[in-house]
Amino acid sequence: MQKKINEFLAVELEKLQEQKLFKNERIIESPQGAEIIVKGKKCLNFCANNYLGLSSHPDLIKASHEEIDRRGYGLSSVRFICGTQDIHKELEKKVSEFLGMEDTILFSSCFDANGAVFEPLLGENDAIITDALNHASIIDGIRLCKAQRWIYKHGDMRDVEEIDPANDKMAKGLERCLKEAKAAGCRFIMVATDGSFSMDGDIAKLDQICDVAEKYEALVMVDDSHSTGFLGKTGRGTHEYRGVMGRVDIITTTFGKALGGASGGCISSSKEIINWMRNKARPYLFSNTVAPAVVGGTLKVMEILMASTELRDKLERNTKYFREKMTAAGFDIIPGDHPIVAIMFGKYPDCSKLAVDFANKMLEEGIYVIAFSFPVVAKGKDRIRVQVSAGHSQEHLEKAIAAFTKVGKELKMIP
Ligand SMILES: *Cc1c(COP(=O)(O)O)cnc(C)c1O
């Protein structure tokens, strides 16, 4: 074994610890759910992407077991050799129907879907216009493709270029980027955005994005990982929430969050784009097919969500209740509709330490939440991020709000 790199990394890891950037993993000793066991102690989980409470739902576990019995454990193949079963086609059809798109292609993860989606479609004469706060997997997917790149200031739709006071750097709005790409003679232009942004819980203004993209004949691509299953009246996602179903060209999303939370992802689009992906997308062609257990569970999720809006309705009620009570208690919360609720610490002295201390005290109270501090978020934007779930009961929510209020008073944040 080469010692040199290990010695180098030992020093670097030490630095991460000193900078408080080292990621410590807390170990869960139970299934995922509203109630989990950490270090032998029961606590309420308020930091999972388990938006619909489906992660350990008995119907999913049953469906998943049944699919293992019917179609086996693994396929030992990529899709185009011998890794496509009837159930993979069935799931692609159901997801297309759910999202209101023509066709769908499955991937092992949404990270793979985003790694796949750009490169086969866009070359050096094309352009990608991307929101500055897009997910890491979109950024990496764009890196894999040769298209020219424009970055627009987060959520800024305007035809402007100006100094961003947040970082003193020049920044452009979406329309300015589109105008420049058009003037550069780009053949295809694609706007790429997260549907919901995971740090603030803000929701992309897809209606405005579609308006301005259409003006410049640009495609719109949305990664709806933090929206699919619950945003919009029937939970179809950000396009439904913003009233632009049928106007979005490409949706990527994950089965690893609201839709059962195991793994898997997909691209949904026109039948031509999806067929092209089946022939050209490298994470599809050269990586294993999604396991039958996951397909079976996700098929059951589709069935549940298309039969009733009960779960997303409950999530909406829970989110509203939690946001109202926390605001009334005096906390500084980024307003909105999303079950990601960012409780901000910037207005208090020594806010980074305060946020971390707060999260630790919450765990002592039996509530599992996570603090995000500089440099993960901008200076002064330190926060605790809560994720509300349909799996939370009224009692769970009340317990969490009571604990927040108690710790908030102890730390002199609220009167
Ligand atoms: C979580 C997430 C992903 C990754 O999804 P996986 O299926 O876990 O790979 C991609 N994009 C966004 C916006 C996400 O939030």
Q: What is the pLDDT of residues 322-378, one digit of tens each?
A: 999 999 999 999 999 999 999 999 999 999 899 999 999 999 999 999 999 888 888
* Any atom of ligand 1 within 6 Å of the Cβ of 174: no
Catalytic one of 57, 257, 314, 392: 257
Verify whether residue 198 is a known catalytic residue: yes
* Any atom of ligand 1 within 6 Å of the Cβ of 134: no
Residue 2, in any domain of the structure: no
* 332 C-alpha to ligand 1 centroid (Å): 27
Worst-scoring range by mean pLDDT, 12-21, 66-75, 196-205, 295-304?
12-21
- Does 165 sit behind a cis peptide bond, omega within 30 degrees of 0 on the bond before it? no
Instruction: Give the per-residue pLDDT at 21.
Output: 82
For the residues 100-123, what does the mean pLDDT come to? 98
Verify whether residue 226 is a known catalytic residue: yes
Write down the pTM of the prediction: 0.97
* Any atom of ligand 1 within 6 Å of the Cβ of 194: yes
Residue with the two structure tokens 């509530």: 367
Indicate the average pLDDT of the chain: 96
Domain final residue, candidates 307, 335, 364: 307
* Any atom of ligand 1 within 6 Å of the Cβ of 34: no
- For residues 349 and 285, membership in a common domain is answered with no
Measuring from atom 12 of ligand 1, which residue has the nearest CA? 225
3-class secondary structure, 174: helix
Pairing of strands 265-269, 189-194: unpaired
Tokens representing 51? Answer: 């938006």
- For residues 296 and 322, membership in a common domain is answered with no
Instruction: Give the per-residue pLDDT at 214.
Output: 98
- For residues 404 and 271, membership in a common domain is answered with no
Domain range holding 402? 19-48+309-410
- For residues 252 and 265, membership in a common domain is answered with yes
Catalytic one of 55, 137, 196, 198: 198
Verify whether residue 257 is a known catalytic residue: yes
Q: Yes or no: say if 389 and 306 are a contact pair by the CB < 8 Å rule.
A: no
